[in-house]
Amino acid sequence: MIFKLADLQIVKGDYYKQRSETVRTRNINITANRGNIVDRYGKILAGNKQSYSLSILKTDVPDETVNDIALAVVNILEQNDDKYKDEIPILLNPIRFNFQDEELQWKQKYNIPVDATPEEAFRKLREDYNITIDTIDIEAYSILQDEYEVELPFKIDEYQYSFKKEEIKWKKNNGFEEDDTAWNVFSKLAEKYKIDMTKYSVEQARKIMAVKYLLKQNKYPAYEPIEIATNISDETRAMIEENKIFLPGVQIMHKPLRYYPNGDFASHILGYLGKISSDLEELMEKGYTPKDMIGKSGIEYSMEEYLKGTDGSMQIEVDARGTLIATIDEIEPTPGDTVVLTMASKLQKVAEESLKKAIEEARNKKPYPQTFSGAVVAIDVNTGEILAMASEPKFDPNLFASGISNKDWASLQPTTDDRYAPKPLINNAISYPLPPGSTFKMLTATAGLTEDKISILESIICRGRYTGVPGISPSDSHGAVHGATNLLKAIKVSCNSYFYETGRRLGGELFEKYAEAFGFGQYTGIELPFESKGMVEGPKHKQKLYEGYIESYLTYTVKLQDEDAKNKIKAMIYEKPEEGQTNYLFYREMRNRIRELGVTDDNQIDRIIWYVTESKYRPGDVLNAAIGQGLNNVTPLQLASYVATIANGGTRYKPYIVSKVISYDGTVKLEKKPEVVQKLDVDPEDLAAIRRGMFAVTTESGGTARSTFLGSKVTVAGKTGTAEAGKYRPDPINNPKLYVDYNDHSWFVAFAPYEKPEIAVVAVVFQGGYGSGAAPIARAIIEEYLASDDVLDHIMPYNELQP
């Protein structure tokens, strides 16, 4: 030992001293392959392909040399049209924060003056959308957001643009003053990174900053190479290798890249990836690194825990200049799990193509030029499995695989303030509730029959205009007069008067009870994020809506701090006059209690009383509810579950789109089975009668969709729905107060075969004009599923390598 120590310290002392000063050990993360997403037959929908990333090691090279290296690398990337990471929110020509551009784009979209404050912008939006002057700000804010889907980048209680808040947050996180201008920040960064502005142009300095900003971030460990660009081209790789001697510390590394072989196919089911933007510390404990991509929507998001593999690592030796000397050790990564979906690719393709065709025909061949969007869902009526789900317009998730560019991101955003402007990133099948129109009439019929408010054989006289509720007189579609109408005929010809009367007999509470039993106004629980639960027209839901208005009013306008007092005032919504008490005395006593609870301003008390009175359910409200209008808003998925429940005899299954999860070694980690949510307490004969009415829609003379199904190979039962879509401003700049009706939404729901149902389909075309316009979508899907001449998809092994 003495001789060995002498050899190490004396004989070879200089050698090891020099080596310790010049050789560094680095641990390099090896990204694991993300798990595949496959259809029910094993066809790969989302896989991986081999790509290369460009990284820079933190070395002992002087700052001035690193600046030259950074500029050279960025120039090579730009020369070959490769994207590089740039996390500094400063734009050039002129020098400005990109938050300013985002604010300007929002103002242009809504025709807001460039210099308008949030208060001024809000006032203009109130005027443009004809919100009356007596509507309080918080209610107007809700109306703009919920009814007109206006983006509001500020809160009503602080009036500061979110763009400005993001700018301030970034400055604070990076050590800058809140009032620093973009030029101040640029200058400070140049000084901090030792960028000689006499040597470099502003454009060159900005490129260097992008790289140096990444290298100086504390979120990256000192030993970890910093990724500058991903999925680089062969041309960039070649140029880096050719100039490697001049680019110390620059490394080309293998990296799996998420790949969607079919482009935008099933994009809303699959979802997309994005950079880790928050909760970094928590995610790093789960094995993530700052350069990882993570699921942001669709299955990529909801099944992230399975799809994310376990990264490996490689220990290497480099010299002080960052040049690789040797590999010491390597731990292989473990790929993520395979997620198997319930959908079949062939049926999905038919769904997407037929939906797109129906939208194009509505837009081009008929007078509906604003028709761009829609959705369709196909479901197994006996299990709840999703067989197909499509939404238009679509997007290509490959755009996100290595980080989406600002240009590509902008191309996926709505370009106008039109509430039905195309939104490619929204899954219309689960996230965009709409009034269901006449497709709700089977719900009304179910409730009426079960509660003995109508009978199967009873006829109700339709005179074209309904007068059963004093003070209102809604009419049938286009003033149609159907005469004596029984249940079967009412469904077949979609008679409004029949269902107005049924709704009147039921009342709001019973209608609401059955709507909830069918799953409306609640989440279905499908394994996809951002599902909307929609809304049901009924007394309870209306009271909840106005309870929210009172909560907001007391918080933001009255600024009442006492939470107990708030709750007592909100509870007044549910109070009724006592027996023998007049409305005058009831509300006078309520006013006194509100004053005792801390609201002393008479105008504010008047507003609260107005909310309480407006929350009451009126006899006429249920008429709209019974034909699928009013506050009713549903998603195509909810409607598909409802139709499946009618088709199978009253069992509501939980919809699901994930069949199983299989690990890399073949172990089944998760396997889904049909799950019964509720069995309706409904007479099977009543549902059978409703199904007969739906069969008449597609097969009998006078049926609203008979022409679509002439010659069909399959017996189909269905129902059309034409839903009012609201109003819009055709000339927002020159005549902002002029409003015109949108075209109606086109719905069609169906199940097949009629004799022994297997599949239910729901299709909607936004502003498609009339219900039968969506019927061809359902026919195409049903016939592909039940009467296709094509062979079935071949089953493929789950561990098949992606080329």
Quickly state the pLDDT bin for 157 (edges 50, 70, 90): confident
Residue whose structure tokens are 């025909």? 361
Residue 791, pLDDT score: 47
What distance in Å separates the CA atoms of residue 394 and residue 604, rounded to the nearest whole number?
47
Q: Which H/E stretch holds residue 445?
A: helix 441-450
What distance in Å separates the CA atoms of residue 606 and residue 586, rounded to the nearest whole number?
14
Condensed to tens digits (0 to 9), the pLDDT of residues 392-434 reads 999 999 999 988 888 888 899 887 778 888 999 999 999 999 9
Condensed to tens digits (0 to 9), the pLDDT of residues 284-312 reads 777 787 778 899 999 999 999 999 998 88
HSE value, Cβ hemisphere, 13 Å, CA-based, for 271: 20
Percent of the chain residues topping a pLDDT of 90: 66
Strands 37-38 and 338-341: parallel
Q: Please list the residues that pair with 629 across neighbouring strands.
A: none
Would you say 630 and 508 are in contact if contact means Cβ atoms under 8 Å apart? no
What distance in Å separates the CA atoms of residue 649 and residue 680, rounded to the nearest whole number?
9
* Mean pLDDT confidence for 25-30: 70
CA-closest candidate to residue 269, choices 165, 389, 160, 372: 389
- pLDDT higher for 735 or 776? 776
Residue 139 has pLDDT above 90, yes or no: no
Condensed to tens digits (0 to 9), the pLDDT of residues 305-340 reads 999 998 887 776 666 555 556 667 678 889 999 999
Give the SS3 label for residue 279: coil
Please give the structure tokens belonging to residue 186: 């640029």
Residue whose structure tokens are 């009873």? 458
Condensed to tens digits (0 to 9), the pLDDT of residues 591-648 reads 999 999 999 999 999 999 999 999 999 988 999 999 999 989 999 999 999 999 999 9
Residue 25, pLDDT score: 67
| The amino acid at 548 | G
Would you say 306 and 339 are in contact if contact means Cβ atoms under 8 Å apart? yes
Residue 68, pLDDT score: 94
Would you say 313 and 240 are in contact if contact means Cβ atoms under 8 Å apart? no
- Indicate the burial class of 478 (C-beta count within 10 angstroms; 0-12, 13-18, 19 or more): exposed
Strands 293-295 and 460-462: unpaired
CA distances from 732 to 31, 124, 135, 289 (A): 51, 11, 21, 47
Output the pTM of the full model: 0.87
Q: Give the other-Cβ count within 10 Å of 7's Cβ.
A: 11
Residue 78 has pLDDT above 70, yes or no: yes
Percent of the chain residues topping a pLDDT of 70: 92
Residue 794, pLDDT score: 45
* Mean pLDDT confidence for 51-55: 92
Residue 796 has pLDDT above 70, yes or no: no
- pLDDT higher for 71 or 735? 71
- Indicate the burial class of 560 (C-beta count within 10 angstroms; 0-12, 13-18, 19 or more): middle
Alpha-carbon torsion 245, 247, 250, 252, what sign? negative
What distance in Å separates the CA atoms of residue 670 and residue 535, rounded to the nearest whole number?
32
What distance in Å separates the CA atoms of residue 303 and residue 333, rounded to the nearest whole number?
19
Hey, which of 278-282, 399-403, 653-657, 702-706 has the most confident mean pLDDT? Answer: 653-657
E-strand ranges in 118-240 read: 226-229
CA distances from 142 to 208, 414, 546 (A): 45, 20, 11
What distance in Å separates the CA atoms of residue 100 and residue 94, rounded to the nearest whole number?
12
Mean pLDDT of the chain: 89
Residue 378, pLDDT score: 98
Quickly state the pLDDT bin for 730 (edges 50, 70, 90): confident
Quickly state the pLDDT bin for 798 (edges 50, 70, 90): very low
Residue 412, pLDDT score: 92
Give the SS3 label for residue 634: strand
Q: Please list the residues that pair with 56 across neighbouring strands.
A: 226, 250
Please give the structure tokens belonging to residue 727: 């109003």
Residue 223 has pLDDT above 80, yes or no: no
Residue whose structure tokens are 């590394």? 253
Strands 226-229 and 44-56: antiparallel
CA-closest candidate to residue 33, choices 254, 315, 268: 254
Q: Please list the residues that pair with 656 across neighbouring strands.
A: 385
* Mean pLDDT confidence for 222-228: 77
What distance in Å separates the CA atoms of residue 575 and residue 592, rounded to the nearest whole number?
15
Please give the structure tokens belonging to residue 702: 């006078």
Residue whose structure tokens are 């009503």? 156
Say how far residue 453 (Cα) sits from the centre of its chain: 40
Indicate the range of 31-40, 363-372, 541-550 predicted with least confidence. Answer: 363-372
Q: Give the other-Cβ count within 10 Å of 68's Cβ.
A: 16
Torsion from C-alpha of 262, 263, 268, 269, nearest 10 degrees: 30
Residue 489, pLDDT score: 97
Condensed to tens digits (0 to 9), the pLDDT of residues 181-219 reads 999 999 999 999 999 999 999 999 999 999 999 988 766
Residue 26, pLDDT score: 64
Would you say 91 and 98 are in contact if contact means Cβ atoms under 8 Å apart? yes
CB neighbour burial string for 516-527, b if at least 16 within 10 angstroms, e if fewer: bbbbbbeebebb
What distance in Å separates the CA atoms of residue 391 and residue 432, rounded to the nearest whole number?
10
CB neighbour burial string for 754-764, b if at least 16 within 10 angstroms, e if fewer: beebbbbbbbb
Residue 370 has pLDDT above 90, yes or no: no
Greatest C-alpha distance within the chain = 114
Would you say 107 and 524 are in contact if contact means Cβ atoms under 8 Å apart? no
Condensed to tens digits (0 to 9), the pLDDT of residues 227-282 reads 899 999 999 999 999 998 888 889 898 889 999 999 999 999 999 999 887 666 67
Residue 10 has pLDDT above 80, yes or no: no
CB neighbour burial string for 652-679, b if at least 16 within 10 angstroms, e if fewer: bbbbbbbbbbbbbeeeeeeebeeeebee
User: Which phi and psi (to 5°) does residue 717 adopt?
Assistant: -110, 140
CA distances from 628 to 103, 523, 653 (A): 38, 19, 22
